[in-house]
Structure 1
Amino acid sequence: MNLLAAIASFTKVVETGSIVGAAKNLGLSAAAVSQTLNRLEEHLGTRLLQRTTRSLALTESGAIYYAKVQRIVADLEAAQSAISEPHAELQGRLCIASTAAFGRHVLAPLVAGFAARHPRLTLELNTSDSKINHIQAGIDLSLRIKPQLEEGIIARKIVSVPFIVCAAPSYLERAGRPDSPEQLQQHACLGFRYPLDGRFLRWGFIRDSEHYYAALNVTAMSDDIDTLAQMAAHGAGIARLAEFVAAPFIESGQLVPLLESSHGPRESATEPLDIYVCVQDRSAMTPKVKAFIDYLSAHLEQRWPQANL
C-alpha cells in the first residue's frame, strides 16, 4: 500500500464530506477510494470513519489521525509543486468558482484563451451566487464580491468594475432624465435582490470622497442581474448594472448611461463593484492557480486600466 496516497485519499474524504466528492477531486473512482480507505484502516488497526449509504463521520481515532496528517499532506503537495510544476507544463484539474454574472460575462470568454495556453489542464467553471465552500466543492480559486467574503479565506481585490446607472430611451422619453442621485426617488428603479440572503443591494455613490447610499423608489426587483438588464432595456425603469452587463445594451442603443456627470451643486460618482480573488489558504496557491490569476489580472488591466487595484 502507498501510505501517502492512502492518507491523501483519507483527508480528501474528510474535507469533501463524501467518498464520491473525494474521488472527483482526486480523479479516481469511488470504489478505488473506498478500497484505499479500507486498506488504510487495516494498516492502522482501527476504524477511521463510520460509513453508511447516507452518511459519513469521523470516529474518535479518525479525528485524532486527521488532525495529525492534514498538514503533512498540504506540505507535501506544496513541496512537490515548488520543485516540479514551475518547470513543467501545467496539468490536472483547475476548478474556478465565480458569481454568476462575472463568470458568464467576463470569465467565460477568457477561459478559451487560457485553455489554449495550457492544453493539459482540465478547466471547470462554477458560476453561482450561492455560498461557496472551497474544500467541499473542490474549488481551487473563486472570484467573489464583498458580500460573499468570509472569515478564514484569503481574499485580494483584483479589480474594481464601474457600475453604470442606465435606462432605455423609451423610459426617459416617458419619465424624464434624472440629473443627480437624489432625483432617483422620483423615478422607477429596478433593484437587485442578492440571492444568498435576500438582501436588496443598495446603490452607493461617492461625493467629496464620502460614501453614501441614494434613496430609491424601487418598483421592481429580481435576483438575476441579466433579467434586470432586460427589464431596463424594455423600458421598465432605471437599473444599476456592472459595466460588463451594461456595455452591450449601451453599444446597441437599448440603454442610455445616466448620472455620468452630475449637474447639481456637487458631483457624485457611482461606487464601483469590487471583485476579489480568493483561495482557501496559502497552500492553495499552486502554480496553476497563480498562472490563472496572472492571466486574469492581465486581461482585467486591459479592460479596466484605471480600476485594477
Structure 2
Amino acid sequence: MSHLRGIETFVKTVECGSIAAAARQLGITAAAASQNVARLEKELGTRLLTRTTRSQALTAAGEVYFARVGPILGELAQARSEISDLHHEVRGRLKIASWVAIGRHVIAPLLPAFIARYPKVQVEVMITDKNVDHLKDSVDVGIRSHHGLEAGLVARRIATVPMILCAAPTYLDLHGRPTEPENLNAHACLAFRMPNDGRLMEWPFLRAGERLAPKRNVVAASNDNDTLVAMAVAGGGIARLGSFVVNPLISQGLLEPLFLRQSGTGNTQSQADPEPMEFFVVYRDRHHIPAPVRAFVDFIVDALENHELLKEPAWPRMI
C-alpha cells in the first residue's frame, strides 16, 4: 500500500505541477507528500523528480515511469467505480464547477434531490465564471456555456437557454420600447463583461437566418449578472439575461421582456430574435467516467429537459 501511495502522490505531483498542490488534492500535508515520493524513489533506486525551491521537473526515468503508471491509476479508479455500480451504490466525491448565474439559479436548487438520490456522494460546488483547470483544481464536472468550451474536455449539451432582453417598466415608459435590434444604440444598455478575456458579451440576434450583433449604447458593465439584474430592476436600462434569471422577475412585474414574438402572429422573416445560449456539462475523460460523474450527468440532463426556468417568458409583445 505504501508503494501505491507513493505512485499516486508522484502522479498527482506531476499533474498538478508541485508537491504542495498534489498534497491539497490528496488531503495530506506537503511534508507527507514529499516523503511518499522520496520513499518511492528509494524503492525504485532512481530519482524521478528534480526539485528546487521554485520548480520541479521530471528526470528521464521519471518521464518513463509517469507514462507507464499514470494510465494504471486511471484504470484502478475506473475499476473501483464499476465495482460500486455492481452493488448499485454510487459513492465518492463530486466537485462541480459551474458558471455563476446558472449555478445559483438552476443547478444549486437541484442538488438536494441529487444528494437524496445518492447519499454517499460528497458534493462540493465551485461557483465562478472563469474557466477552471479541472486537473489542478480537482474538478470532476463543469457547467459552462458555449463561450467556455475548450479542447481536452468532453462536452454534452444540457440546455438551450432563451436570452431575454428586458428592462423595468418605469425605464420603458420613460424611454420607449425598442422593437428592432438597431434601436438599442439609442438606449441605455447594461452589459456583461466576460471574466476570462475582459470582452463585453455581445447581444446577438437571428433574423431571416442571419446572425447580427447590433451596436449598443453601453452605459454600465459588470462581471456579475445579479448586479446587472439589480440595476435593471432599478430602472437603469436594458439588460440581456438568461430566462432562468429573469422569468421570476417578469412574473412579478419587475422587469418587462423585449423582442418576444406576439402570441398568434407566427414566425415572420422580418422578426429579429435574441440568439439563445447553449449550456454544457463538461468532464475530462470519456473512457474512464467515475460513477458520481456519470450519475450527475444523467441526473442533470433529465432534470433540465423541461425545466420551467429555461422557457421563454409569457408576455405580450408590445409594439
- In the alignment, structure 1 segments of 5+ residues that lack a partner are none
Matches within 5 A, 1:200-279: 200-261=200-261, 266-279=270-283
Q: In the aligned structure 1, how far is the partner of 2:103 from the partner of 2:57? A: 34
CA shift, 1:146, in A, is: 1.6
User: 3-state SS of the aligned residue for 2:306?
Assistant: helix
Q: In the aligned structure 2, how far is the partner of 1:137 from the partner of 1:258? A: 40
Q: Give the letter aligned to residue 115 of structure 1.
A: I
Contact 1:140 1:284 in 2 (8 A): no
What residue in structure 2 maps to residue 126 of structure 1? Answer: 126
What residue in structure 2 maps to residue 292 of structure 1? Answer: 296
Contact 1:189 1:217 in 2 (8 A): yes
CA shift, 1:10, in A, is: 1.4
C-alpha distance after superposition, 1:155-213 (max 9, x if no partner): 12111111111000110111011112222122111111101101111111112233222
Find out whether 1:303 has 2:307 as its counterpart: yes
Find out whether 1:69 has 2:69 as its counterpart: yes
Contact 2:94 2:123 in 1 (8 A): yes
Q: In the aligned structure 2, how far is the partner of 1:18 from the partner of 1:191? A: 39
What residue in structure 1 maps to residue 193 of structure 2? Answer: 193
- In the alignment, structure 2 segments of 5+ residues that lack a partner are 312-319
User: 3-state SS of the aligned residue for 2:136?
Assistant: helix
Which shows bigger deviation, 217-226 or 159-168? Answer: 217-226
Identity in percent: 46
Q: Tell me the TM-score normalized by structure 2.
A: 0.88
Q: In the aligned structure 1, how far is the partner of 2:287 from the partner of 2:20? A: 23
Matches within 5 A, 1:155-170: 155-170=155-170
User: 3-state SS of the aligned residue for 2:305?
Assistant: helix
CA shift, 1:98, in A, is: 1.1
Shift in CA distance, 23/267, structure 1 to aligned 2, threshold 3 Å: same
What residue in structure 2 maps to residue 181 of structure 1? Answer: 181
C-alpha distance after superposition, 1:100-120 (max 9, x if no partner): 212121111112221122222
Q: In the aligned structure 2, how far is the partner of 1:84 from the partner of 1:233? A: 49
Query: C-alpha root-mean-square deviation of aligned residues, in Å?
Result: 2.2
Matches within 5 A, 1:17-28: 17-28=17-28
Q: Give the letter aligned to residue 49 of structure 1.
A: L
Q: In the aligned structure 1, how far is the partner of 2:280 from the partner of 2:287? A: 18
CA shift, 1:143, in A, is: 0.9
Shift in CA distance, 86/145, structure 1 to aligned 2, threshold 3 Å: farther
Q: Give the letter aligned to residue 47 of structure 1.
A: R
C-alpha distance after superposition, 1:263-294 (max 9, x if no partner): 99711221111111111122452111011111
